[in-house]
Amino acid sequence: MKKCLVCAATTVMAVAGVTGPAYAAPQTLTLNSSFGVSGGGNTLVGTVPASAPNTFAAGSVPVVQFQSGSCANQSKPVAPIVAGPGGTLTAGAVTVRPNDVTRISGTKVAFKVPSRSYPELDSNGSPSTVNTDGLALVSGQTSAKWSVCLYDTDTPGGSLLASTTYNLVQKPTITGVTPAASPAGGGTTVTVTGSGFQSATVGGPPITASIGGSPLTNIKVAANGSSFTATTGPRAAGSNLFLTVNAAGGTVVSSDPDNDPTTYESPVLFEYSNGITVTPSLTPGGSTVTLDIVGAGFSSLTFDANGGPTSANAHVFLVRGAYVAAGNRGVAECTGVVVIADTELICTLDLSGGSLNPVTSAAAPSVAVPDGAYTVTVVKNGSTSVGSDAEPSIVSSGSTFTVGPY
């Protein structure tokens, strides 16, 4: 049993004939985080107002207890309710081990949230895992609120020094994302399923998420915290991309979707395709038209100004069918490229007499681009000598661009 070291906190003092309590009521404790993951083991730092500078007396540490209801006993901790070896408490009280409590100052204290098990030394001095009644959710629970009660002693006649509340929350998990692909320009609405997404309901900040490093926007979380919808942002094309979700219960990456490194689960993967949007999507033959191209990754490209369609810079080609660097390079080049943003560029396409040989990119200045269906393709390297290095870069239109008698 601990000796009462801060009884002065509740002693009625008489100074110059005036009496009054030093700190008559428990102080409000502010935690560095009002929520934490199920299972415990994390460290919290609690602070009381500066107006109560001696709440935690020098040379002592408070008794810290988590209680399922309000701090019911004002003079000593309540008796813990034991759930059995390895059990999980859903009611009652859990006392933090004294070795896991540190007094920092008269207004600040650090303590570890009780975990479900912890290592100790057995009678032979060897490490031994001991089950304890740590804070953990049970099946069906998504969160649970506990009171944090700090006492000056665990003996009768002590005082409740400070209190606050703490929310226990799920570690987030991911079970799927639908659809599992987006064009490079983004704008696709996806639904992410899993658990532990209800940050706002437990006092945490709104969840954030990203795919392949590109942030998701317009995140809307279901009331039960088991799914959310979001809009993909622009990103360079790529496959086997991971989804990352940051919630009150921590971070989960879809490379480990069950958020448990001790088990293996197939990763949840996402793909950004080489898709762009081209406006307009059709134009009369023999005309000159300005194209507005929306995609992603344009700001990293250097577009050719004077070197011609076979230079090693980036280009925008009008292609009949699929672009092939070695043999189907396009029938015309969209020139005068202006990059407005990483996600948008404009260029001028001359269909009246600026035709190219699709195999060599040799100019045929007197030949108009014939009517037909084409695609607009952005390449990062137009050189004919670099082979696969001249593959479509970052974005390539997946829609049809039509030249015809309109």
Per-residue pLDDT of the chain (406 residues; tens, 9 = 90+): 444 433 333 333 333 333 333 445 799 999 998 888 888 889 999 999 999 999 999 999 999 999 887 887 777 777 665 443 344 455 578 889 899 999 999 999 999 998 865 455 556 666 554 445 577 777 677 778 889 999 998 887 889 999 999 988 888 999 999 999 998 878 899 999 999 998 777 777 889 999 999 999 999 999 888 999 999 998 877 889 999 999 988 899 999 999 988 889 999 999 988 778 899 988 998 899 999 998 888 888 899 877 788 888 899 999 998 888 878 889 999 999 999 998 899 999 999 987 899 988 888 878 899 999 998 988 888 887 655 444 545 456 556 788 887 5
Which letter, b or e, does each residue of 239-272 get, where b requires 16 or more Cβ atoms within 10 Å of its Cβ?
eebbbbbbbbbbebebebbbbeeeeeeeebbbeb
pTM comes to 0.64
| Dihedral sign computed on CA atoms, order 305, 307, 310, 311 | negative
Topology (CATH level 3) of domain 7-169: Immunoglobulin-like (2.60.40)
The tokens 């000056």 sit on which residue? 152
Q: What φ, ψ does residue 396 adopt, rounded to 5°?
A: -150, 135
Would 173-273 and 277-404 be classified into the same CATH topology?
yes
Topology (CATH level 3) of domain 173-273: Immunoglobulin-like (2.60.40)
Which helix (H) or strand (E) segment holds residue 167: the answer is strand 160-169
Matching CATH number, 277-404, of 2.40.330, 2.160.20, 1.10.3470, 2.60.40: 2.60.40
Query: Please, which residues have CB within 8 angstroms of residue 88's CB and are 6 or more apart in sequence?
Result: 116, 133, 134, 136, 137, 138
What is the rounded radius of gyration, in angstroms, for the C-alpha atoms of the chain?
A: 33
Beta bridge partners of 292: 279, 346
Task: Sketch the domain layout of the chain as residue ranges.
Answer: 7-169, 173-273, 277-404
